Amino acid sequence: MSERPGGGANGIGMTSARTRERLVQRLTEQGIRDPRVLDRIRNVPRHLFVDEALGSRAYEDTALPIGHGQTISQPYVVARMTEAATLGGTPAKVLEIGTGCGYQTAVLAPLVGRLYSVERIAGLLTRAKERLRELGIRNVRFKHGDGNLGWPSQSPFDAILLAAAPHAVPQQLLAQLVEGGRLIAPIGPEGRQELLRLTRRGDQFVRERLGFVSFVPLLGGVA
């Protein structure tokens, strides 16, 4: 259903089914295969997660600023990470590092049993909670904290996703995976990051390369 420009918070003229379907088609052409992930990209209202001034660009396959020096990830990367974490199944417990505006959270949450999401910037976390509540997403627990530390009291996790890039693989997060659990993370300095999936096999981790990406750096502490 097309929405009239200027018709309130949701009415930005760029939320029609046709616009969203073009985005889904593009992601399919780029190799996203899981129909559940494509359905979430189709149905999550991405325009609600960006400033109204950027609403007309919400369904472009591009990252956009969300304030505090952070960005909303491009839909392809969100879909790729979600697909890599769920692997056609439904992981019971998943940890997300970097709630940000909550878009990745909204895409991922219905595909897992329970999602634990950590964000270091209080202002972003407050807004993300409000948006997800408005969308009726109830299986997420939030924490204002340092993502480098993970969430030890709730570990172990079936999957861990990082929405910000550490320079090296974070050993403290790997320790919070179950046997067979997967860590999906962009690794490396700004401008030279590679998306990796590391799967736990006993004390070893099988590394898979998922392509080159561009993320904000993973910072320590809280703000």
Residue with tokens 């189709």: 42
List, by residue number, the catalytic residues: 73
| Residue 53 falls in which region: left (phi positive, over 0), alpha (psi -120 to 50) or beta | alpha
Residue 15 has what pLDDT? 59
Residue 152 DSSP class? G
Which CATH number is 63-213 given?
3.40.50.150
DSSP state of 74: P
Residues recorded for the chain = 223
Beta bridge partners of 177: 157
Q: Is residue 169 within 8 Å of 199, Cβ to Cβ?
A: no
Question: In which residue are the tokens 């204002």 written?
Answer: 144
The predicted pLDDT at position 88 comes to: 75
Give residue-wise pLDDT tens across range 12-46: 444 578 889 999 999 999 999 999 999 999 999 99
> Hey, how many other C-beta atoms are within 10 angstroms of the C-beta on 186?
25
- β-partners of residue 182 are 159, 199
Per-residue pLDDT at 55: 83
Quote the radius of gyration of the chain (alpha carbons, Å).
17
**pLDDT for 68:** 81
- Looking at residue 178, what is its pLDDT? 97
| pTM for the whole structure | 0.89
Which pair of tokens denotes residue 6?
């200027």
Closest CA to 67 of 86, 84, 53, 80: 53
Q: Torsion-angle region of residue 41: left (phi > 0), alpha (psi -120 to 50) or beta?
A: alpha
Strand partners, 208: 197
Q: Report, as ranges of residue numbers, the positions in the chain whose pLDDT lies below 70.
A: 1-15
Q: For 40-85, where are the E strands, in sequence order? A: 64-67, 70-72
